[in-house]
C-alpha cells in the first residue's frame, strides 16, 4: 500500500461526499414534479400510455404496473434477440441469439443485473445493443429509483396505502435524470477516447504479421448509462478493462464516480422527503463505513500479494519501477488501488462492471466483492435498490431496538408491528434461500460441475459468486465457470428474476402498510435514528444477518483458500 493509493481513495470519498447534497436536492425536484422543462415531451407520453398523472396509486396497483411493464420489456427483448439476424444494424451478420441465452439475457437486463454469459462483440448486433440492452439500462434503473421513492413516500405519508404513480415516477426518472445526464456525459467519455461509431469491425495486420479483428460500435452512449444506472453490462467482453470502454485514468474515475453518485444522493433525498435530514446523513454514514471497510480490506489484500509468488522470486514490494502486490488479472493502466477500489464500488452497488478479473484476486481480495453482494448490495447499492435495501434493514434495527427497551418499535413516527416485520423478514430471507439453494444444487449436480474449470474451494467460490451476483442483481462474475449452458443459463436467469421481483413485492407492500399508518408523536422512549448509536446498531444488524447467513459457505470457499495460500499449499 502506498500514500498515493490512499490519496486516490480519499479523493474519491471526498468527491462523493460533496456531490451527495446537490444530487439529493435534484432528485427531490425530479420526483415531486418541480421540473417542467420537458413537459412538452412528458405530457404526450402520459397520453400515449393512457396514464392519469394525477392518480395516486395504492401499493397493489403500483406493484402491478411495475410487474406488467417489466414482463412486457423482457418478452420484447427475448423476441428481438431471437430474430436478431433478420434485423438491420448488424454489419457483422451475427446470428440469432440461442434461446437459452436470449432468456437469460432478457431476464438479466430487465432486472438491472446485466449478467453476460456471452462476448458482447461477437454475439450482439448494434441494434440489439442499442434498442434492447441500452433500453433496459435506462428503464430498469428508472424502475429501481421509482421503487425507492415509493418506499420513502410510504414512510413519510399517511395516505391509505397510496404511494404515488408508478408510470409518472418511471417517466420522470428517465426524462429528467438518466437521459440528460447520459447525453452530456457521453461527450465526456468520447473526449477521453471511448469510441462511438457504426463502422464495421476492422481487420488489421499486427507488427508480427498476424491478422486481428478490432471490434467497433456505439460504445460511449451505452457506457455512461451502464455506470450511472448501475447496470454493468459491457459492450465488450472485457468490460471496463477494454481500452475502448475505459481508456484513461480519468475515464476510470468517472466510471467509478457515476456508479455511486445517484445512490449517495438518494440518502439525502430520503432525509428531505421524510422531514429528517439528519436521518438521511445517518444512512449515508452507515453506507460509507461499510464501503470504507471493504475497500481497505481489498486494497490491503491485493497490495500484500500472494506469498507463494514471493517464494518463487516475484517482487511484491511497490517501487518506482513496478507496482508490487498481486497484479494478476489487472490492467497496468489502473494498478492495484484502482482495481481494488473499482471492485469494491461495483459490488457495493449492484453494478457489476469490472476493470479487473475478480477471479484473479487473492482469496481475501475476492472475498470483499462477494461479501458486498451478499450483504444485499446496500452499501450505497444500485440506483434505488441500495436505499430500499438499507431501509429494510432499518426496519429490523428499530424492531430490535424496541425489543431491547420493551416497547412497540417506532420509525419516524410510524409503529412497526407484526405485519411490517413479517414482510421485512420475507425480504431478508428470500435472498439467501435462492443463493444457497442454487449453489448447493450446482455443486453436486453433474451439469453444474461440468461447467466448472477449478476444483476445491476456489471452484466453490466461483459457483457461489455466480448465484450471489445474479440473485443480487449485480452481474459481475468470478469467471472460471462456463455459464453458457442450458443448466446455468436457465438457473442464473431464473435467479435474476427471483432476486429482483420476489424482494421488490414485499418491499412495496411495506411501503403501502406504512402509508396506511398515522404518525405518532415522538416520546421519551422513541429510539432516535439520527445518532452514532443508531448507525452502530444498524451496522451490527447488517453484519450479523450477513454473517449468520453466509459465513459457513464462505468458510468453505475463500476463507479456507486464504489459509491454504498463507501456508504455501495453494498452487
User: Is 465 within a domain?
Assistant: no
Burial-class residue 87 by CB neighbours within 10 Å (0-12, 13-18, 19+).
middle
Q: Is residue 89 part of a domain?
A: yes
What's the confidence (pLDDT) of residue 525?
66
Question: Do 230 and 263 form a contact (C-beta atoms < 8 A)?
Answer: yes
Grid cell 453458457 is found at: 484
pLDDT(504) > 70: yes
Let me know: does 239 contact 355? Beta carbons within 8 Å: yes
pLDDT tens-place string over residues 309-335: 777 777 777 777 777 888 888 998 898
Distance in angstroms (rounded) separating the CA atoms of residues 58 and 161: 5
d(CA 562, CA 510): 40
pLDDT at 153: 94
pLDDT given at position 3: 87
- Render pLDDT for 241-262 as a digit per residue (tens, 0 to 9): 999 999 999 999 999 999 999 9
pTM of the model: 0.93
Report the pLDDT averaged over residues 54-77: 95
Confidence of residue 483 (pLDDT cuts 50, 70, 90): confident
For range 107-126, the mean pLDDT? 91
Indicate if the pLDDT at residue 377 is higher than 60.
yes
Are the C-beta atoms of 167 and 61 separated by less than 8 Å? no
DSSP assignment of 472-495, as one string?
TT------SB---SHHHHHHHHHH
pLDDT of residue 571: 47
Residue 72 reports pLDDT greater than 70: yes
pLDDT tens digits for range 150-206: 999 999 988 888 999 999 999 999 999 999 999 999 999 999 999 999 988 999 998
Residue 445 lies in a domain: no
Confidence (pLDDT) at 27:
96
Q: Answer whether 226's CB lies under 8 Å from 181's CB.
A: no
- Write out 335-393 in H/E/C secondary structure: HHHHHHHHHHHHHHCCCCCCCECHHHCCHHHHHHHHHHHHCCCCCCCCCCHHHHHHHHH
Residue 336 falls within a domain, yes or no? no
Of 408 and 117, more confident: 117
DSSP-derived secondary structure for 147-195: HHHHHHHHHH--STTB---HHHHHHHHIIIIIHHHHHHHHHHHHHHT--
Q: How many domains does the chain have?
A: 1
52-182-117-326 Cα dihedral, nearest 10 degrees: -140
What pLDDT sits at residue 405? 73
Instruction: Quote the pLDDT of residue 60.
Output: 95
Alpha-carbon torsion (387, 43, 138, 86), positive or negative:
positive
Residue 457 has pLDDT above 50, yes or no: yes
Domain of residue 150 covers 21-272
Q: Is residue 298, in this structure, part of any structural domain at all? A: no
Q: What percent of the chain has pLDDT above 70?
A: 99
- Per-residue pLDDT band at 82 (split at 50, 70, 90): very high
Q: Give me the pLDDT at residue 441, please.
A: 94
How many Å apart are CA 298 and CA 304, to the nearest integer? Answer: 10
52 occurs within a structural domain: yes
Count of CB atoms within 10 A of residue 155's CB?
A: 25
**pLDDT digit string, tens, across residues 35-55:** 889 989 999 999 998 999 999
Q: Is 554 inside any structural domain? A: no
Residue 77 lies in a domain: yes
Phi-psi region of 193 (alpha: psi -120 to 50; beta: other; left: phi over 0): left
Q: Indicate the Cα dihedral angle 157, 28, 44, 126, nearest 10°.
A: -120
More confident residue, 118 or 520: 118
- Per-residue pLDDT at 362 exceeds 80: yes
Compute the average pLDDT of residues 552-561.
Answer: 92
Check: CB of residue 89 under 8 Å from CB of residue 197.
no
Amino acid at each position: 500500500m502506498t500514500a498515493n493509493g490512499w490519496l486516490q481513495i480519499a479523493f474519491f470519498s471526498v468527491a462523493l461526499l460533496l456531490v451527495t447534497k446537490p444530487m439529493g436536492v435534484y432528485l427531490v425536484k425530479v420526483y415531486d414534479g418541480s421540473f417542467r422543462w420537458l413537459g412538452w415531451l412528458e405530457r404526450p407520453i402520459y397520453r400515449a400510455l393512457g396514464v392519469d398523472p394525477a392518480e395516486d396509486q395504492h401499493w397493489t396497483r403500483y406493484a402491478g404496473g411495475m410487474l406488467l411493464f417489466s414482463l412486457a420489456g423482457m418478452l420484447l427483448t427475448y423476441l428481438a434477440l431471437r430474430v436478431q439476424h433478420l434485423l438491420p444494424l448488424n454489419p457483422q451478420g451475427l446470428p440469432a441469439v440461442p434461446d437459452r441465452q436470449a432468456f437469460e439475457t432478457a431476464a438479466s437486463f430487465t432486472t438491472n443485473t446485466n449478467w453476460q454469459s456471452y462476448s458482447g462483440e461477437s454475439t450482439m448486433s448494434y441494434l440489439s445493443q442499442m434498442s434492447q440492452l441500452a433500453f433496459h439500462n435506462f428503464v430498469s434503473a428508472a424502475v429501481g429509483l421509482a421503487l425507492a421513492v415509493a418506499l420513502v413516500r410510504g414512510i413519510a405519508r399517511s395516505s391509505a396505502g397510496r404511494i404515488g404513480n408508478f408510470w409518472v415516477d418511471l417517466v420522470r426518472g428517465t426524462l429528467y435524470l438518466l437521459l440528460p445526464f447520459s447525453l452530456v456525459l457521453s461527450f465526456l467519455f468520447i473526449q477521453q477516447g471511448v469510441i462511438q461509431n457504426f463502422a464495421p469491425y476492422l481487420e488489421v495486420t499486427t507488427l508480427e504479421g498476424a491478422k486481428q479483428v478490432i471490434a467497433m460500435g456505439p460504445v460511449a452512449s451505452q457506457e455512461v448509462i451502464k455506470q450511472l444506472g448501475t447496470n454493468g453490462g459491457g459492450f465488450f467482453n472485457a468490460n471496463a478493462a477494454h481500452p475502448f470502454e475505459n481508456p484513461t485514468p480519468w475515464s476510470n474515475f468517472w466510471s467509478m464516480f457515476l456508479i455511486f453518485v445517484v445512490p449517495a444522493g438518494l440518502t439525502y433525498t430520503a432525509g428531505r422527503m421524510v422531514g429528517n435530514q439528519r436521518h438521511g446523513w445517518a444512512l449515508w454514514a452507515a453506507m460509507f463505513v461499510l464501503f470504507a471497510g471493504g475497500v481497505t480490506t481489498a486494497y490491503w489484500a491485493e497490495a500484500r500479494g500472494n506469498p507463494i509468488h514471493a517464494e518463487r522470486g516475484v517482487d511484491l514490494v511497490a517501487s518506482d519501477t513496478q507496482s508490487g502486490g498481486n497484479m494478476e488479472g489487472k490492467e497496468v493502466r489502473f494498478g492495484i488501488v484502482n482495481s481494488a477500489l473499482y471492485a469494491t464500488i461495483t459490488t457495493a452497488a449492484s453494478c457489476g462492471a469490472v476493470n479487473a478479473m475478480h477471479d484473479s484476486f487473492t482469496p481475501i481480495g475476492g472475498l470483499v466483492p462477494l461479501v458486498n453482494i451478499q450483504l444485499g448490495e446496500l452499501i450505497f447499492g444500485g440506483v434505488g435498490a441500495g436505499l430500499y435495501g438499507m431501509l429494510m434493514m432499518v426496519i429490523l434495527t428499530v424492531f430490535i431496538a424496541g425489543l431491547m427497551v420493551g416497547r412497540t418499535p417506532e420509525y419516524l413516527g410510524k409503529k412497526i408491528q407484526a405485519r411490517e416485520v413479517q414482510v421485512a423478514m420475507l425480504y431478508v430471507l428470500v435472498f439467501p434461500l435462492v443463493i444457497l439453494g442454487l449453489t448447493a444444487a450446482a455443486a453436486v449436480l453433474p451439469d453444474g460441475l461440468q461447467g466448472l474449470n477449478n476444483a476445491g474451494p476456489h471452484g466453490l467460490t466461483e459457483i457461489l459468486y455466480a448465484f450471489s451476483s445474479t440473485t443480487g442483481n449485480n452481474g459481475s462474475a468470478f469467471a472460471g465457470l462456463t455459464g453458457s449452458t442450458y443448466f446455468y443459463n436457465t438457473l442464473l436467469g431464473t435467479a435474476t428474476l427471483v432476486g429482483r421481483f420476489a424482494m421488490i413485492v414485499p418491499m412495496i407492500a411495506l411501503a403501502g402498510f406504512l402509508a396506511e399508518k398515522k404518525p405518532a408523536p415522538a416520546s421519551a422512549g422513541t429510539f432516535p435514528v439520527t445518532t452514532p448509536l443508531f448507525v452502530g446498531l444498524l451496522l451490527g444488524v447488517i453484519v450479523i444477518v450477513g454473517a449468520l447467513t453466509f459465513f459457513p459457505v464462505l468458510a468453505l470457499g475463500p476463507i479456507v483458500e486464504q489459509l491454504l495460500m498463507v501456508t504455501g499449499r495453494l498452487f
